A and B are shown apart, each in its own frame.
Chain A
Amino acid sequence: DIQMTQSPSAMSASVGDRVTITCRASQGISNYLAWFQQRPGKVPKRLIYAAFSLQSGVPSRFSGSGSGTEFTLTISSLQPEDFATYYCLQHNSYPWTFGQGTKVEIK
Chain B
Amino acid sequence: EVQLLESGGGLVQPGGSLRLSCAASGFTFRTYALSWVRQAPGRGLEWVSAISGSGGTTYYADSVKGRFTISRDNSKNTLYLQMNSLRAEDTAVYFCARIVVVTGFDYWGQGTLVTVSS
- Chain A residue, CB-CB nearest to B48: A95
Q: Number of residue pairs across A and B with beta carbons under 8 Å?
A: 57
**Considering the complex, which residues of chain B in the window 95-112 have a beta carbon less than 8 Å from any beta carbon of chain A?**
95, 99, 102-106, 108-111
> Which of B60, B61, B110 has the most chain A CB atoms closer than 10 A to its own CB?
B61
Residue B2 lies at the interface, judged by CB distance under 8 Å to chain A? no
B108 adjacent to A43 (CB under 8 Å): yes
Secondary structure class of chain B's binding surface, majority of residues: strand
Residues from chain A with Cβ under 8 Å of B95 in the complex? 43-44
> Which of B35, B61, B104, B106 has the most chain A CB atoms closer than 10 A to its own CB?
B104
A46 adjacent to B45 (CB under 8 Å): no
Residue B27 lies at the interface, judged by CB distance under 8 Å to chain A? no
Q: How far is the CA of A97 from the CA of B47 in the complex (A)?
A: 6
B44 adjacent to A87 (CB under 8 Å): yes
With A49-B104, A94-B59, A95-B61: A43-B111 Cβ-Cβ less than 8 Å: yes
A-contact 0/1 string along B42-60, CB 8 Å cutoff: 0011110010000000011
Residues from chain B with Cβ under 8 Å of A34 in the complex? 103-105
Q: Chain B: interface residue count, which band? A: 20 to 34
In angstroms, how far is the closest chain B Cβ from the Cβ of A48? 10
B59 adjacent to A44 (CB under 8 Å): no
B104 adjacent to A98 (CB under 8 Å): no
Can you list 7 A-B pairs with a CB-CB distance of less than 8 A?
A38-B45, A43-B95, A44-B45, A50-B103, A94-B50, A98-B46, A101-B45
Chain B interface residues toward A at CB < 8 A:
35, 44-47, 50, 59-62, 95, 99, 102-106, 108-111
